[in-house]
Chain A
Amino acid sequence: QSVLTQPPSASGTPGQRVTVSCSGSSSNIGRNAVNWYQQLPGTAPKLLIYDNNQRPSGVPDRFSGSKSGTSASLAISGLQSEDEADYYCAVWDDSLNGWVFGGGTKLTVL
């Protein structure tokens, strides 16, 4: 059971907009910035969004992040087949004194 709750799956058709939620608590998302990672099949995770809503260079602006209270969201607009991957949220937890990840959301492009 992960400290951060993500839906196990999400799906959309090419061109659609999809969102992935990440629910936490006052000791993690409520106090600290959220990061998102993308893991393509058979590869290492890659940083997608940092500090709630910042995109590293090279990440398309189709990807965006937001945070409100103890929840965060990742939005992907203009969905493309290459976006099919697992997506994880992560945040520092002040009570656990460590990093916590969401259980991951498998995105399928139909």
Chain B
Amino acid sequence: EVQLVESGGGLVQPGRSLRLSCAASGFSFNDYAMHWVRQAPGKGLEWVSGITWNSGSTAYADSVKGRFTISRDNAKNALYLQMNSLRAEDTALYFCAKAAREWLETNWFDPWGQGTLVTVSS
């Protein structure tokens, strides 16, 4: 069974950093692209970032470009999101999601993890 388990969320002050992790199991992790998608409280889904199977290509939403960095460790079956210069508007539930293919585009997300909550507040 494919499983994605996010961790690393919590309460952080504006301007500080946080690193999210996503532990994957039940599939050949190094064969697929991976993504982060977030959902602010009571709001819709917003794609944050994606990374190809071999880390050769990454992409970011304009709202996080220059502040967030996605990475993966295929030896550890793990996906990461380094979030710097956090803002109140980054407060959200962060989901990791497995892509159906090794590249970023023309794809779909399945499955999704249960999410980890990030709260940015002083």
Contacts and interface: CB of A to CB of B under 8 A. Distances in A.
Contact of B44 (A33, A47, A97, A102): A102
B45 A98 contact: no
Interface residues of A, number: 27
Interface string B108-121: 11111111000000
Q: Is the interface of A mostly helix, strand, loop or mixed?
A: strand
Contacts, number: 65
B107 interface: yes
B27 interface: no
Interface in B21-68: 35, 37, 44-47, 50, 59-62
A98 B100 contact: no
A37 interface: yes
A104 B45 CA distance: 8
Interface string A95-106: 011111111100
Nearest to B114: A44
A44 B60 contact: no
Interface string A40-59: 00001111001100001000
Interface of A: 2, 32-33, 35, 37, 39, 44-47, 50-51, 56, 86, 88, 90, 92, 94, 96-104
Interface of B: 35, 37, 44-47, 50, 59-62, 95, 100, 104-115
